[in-house]
Amino acid sequence: MRLLFILNPTANGGRAAQLANKIRSFYLEHADDPRLGSTSPSLEIRLTEYPSHATRLAEENAKLFDVIVAVGGDGTINEVCRGLIAAKTGQLGVIPAGTGNDTATGLELPKTLAEALWAIHESPIRHLDYGTVNGQVFINSATVGFDALVASHGNRIKRVLKSHWAYVIGLFTALATYHFPKIQVPQDFPAGDDWAGTQRDLCLLAVCNGRYYGGGIEIVPGATLDDELLDLCLITNISKPRLLKLLPTILKGTHIKQKQYLRTWKTQQFSLPVLTPTLLGIDGEISEVAVGEVLHFELHPGGINFVG
């Protein structure tokens, strides 16, 4: 088996960099183990040198290796998948080595390096779905509004404070600074009801392919990476004090009962016109949404071959 490990040395505050030697040691230690197959695996480890380098490496090497293994967090997995999708071939493996690791947690991957490596060699192929928003690939989740602002602040704070607390501080900073953008709920709103066709103040839209986002939060409980559906949660017309009260229920998973502000539904596609500027998060990476932009979310069933 030919394996290319694409390792993001900056993931998890730089801690992922140590894994290169540990991966090499694993294969040296188990060189004669029959579980690795009759011929010992050929192994290459490439460190990413800049953002999006993983996409280029994955695309260029998809045909040359049996498995392209993303070593990093949600951002690295996203970038490797983009490369495999562009190459229209290749199999993905994952060694969780990021800060949040929401994609890996949703995939129920083993926690230790050795177990994750064995899983690449011993597990059957799974066909994972992926999503796009206006053509940009997401594997785990795309978010609009408040949670994208939390991630934006969190990503910035994480450069100095290399821990989960960066996102807690990001949350309170976002609460203080968030301006609710206006959205137009489509007439054919898949969740139906009186929200269809109305203008509303957006708190957040979470479009989930994977089960967890934001470091382990189940905003739409039950989302699965291979169920051929996107799971969505839309929260609108809520005041900041009520949002503050809602946040602990989101952590507990009891928030979905709050029908006054919140809708959840499953679909393969959804379009949302955004009437005032806001932020879009794609697997944790943040960009701006311009006034009048229509965000079109689409699911691509079974588009990624995964082993692990």
Ligand X SMILES: Nc1ncnc2c1ncn2[C@@H]1O[C@H](COP(=O)(O)OP(=O)(O)OP(=O)(O)O)[C@@H](O)[C@H]1O
Contact positions toward ligand X, by CB under 6 A? 8-12, 48-53, 72-76, 79, 98-101, 284-285
The structure tokens listed for 224 are 């699965």
β-bridge partners, 217:
213
Minimum CB separation of residue 203 from ligand X in Å reads 22
Minimum CB separation of residue 51 from ligand X in Å reads 3
Strand, coil or helix: 188: coil
Residue nearer to ligand X on the CB measure, 47 or 191: 47
Residue nearer to ligand X on the CB measure, 96 or 303: 96
> Helix H segments across 30-181?
53-61, 74-87, 102-106, 113-122, 146-158, 165-177
Residue nearer to ligand X on the CB measure, 49 or 122: 49
Residue nearer to ligand X on the CB measure, 52 or 268: 52
Separation CA 155–CA 151 (nearest Å): 6
Residue nearer to ligand X on the CB measure, 202 or 282: 282
DSSP state of 227: S
Residue nearer to ligand X on the CB measure, 98 or 181: 98
Minimum CB separation of residue 104 from ligand X in Å reads 8
Separation CA 80–CA 69 (nearest Å): 8
Minimum CB separation of residue 239 from ligand X in Å reads 30
The structure tokens listed for 22 are 């540990």
Distance set, CA 180 to CA 113, 175, 177, 202, 279 (Å):
42, 11, 10, 5, 11
Residue with the shortest CB distance to ligand X = 73
Minimum CB separation of residue 89 from ligand X in Å reads 23
Minimum CB separation of residue 142 from ligand X in Å reads 14
Dump strand ranges (E) for the chain. 2-7, 42-47, 67-72, 91-96, 126-133, 136-138, 141-145, 182-184, 199-208, 230-236, 262-267, 269-273, 278-282, 285-289, 294-306
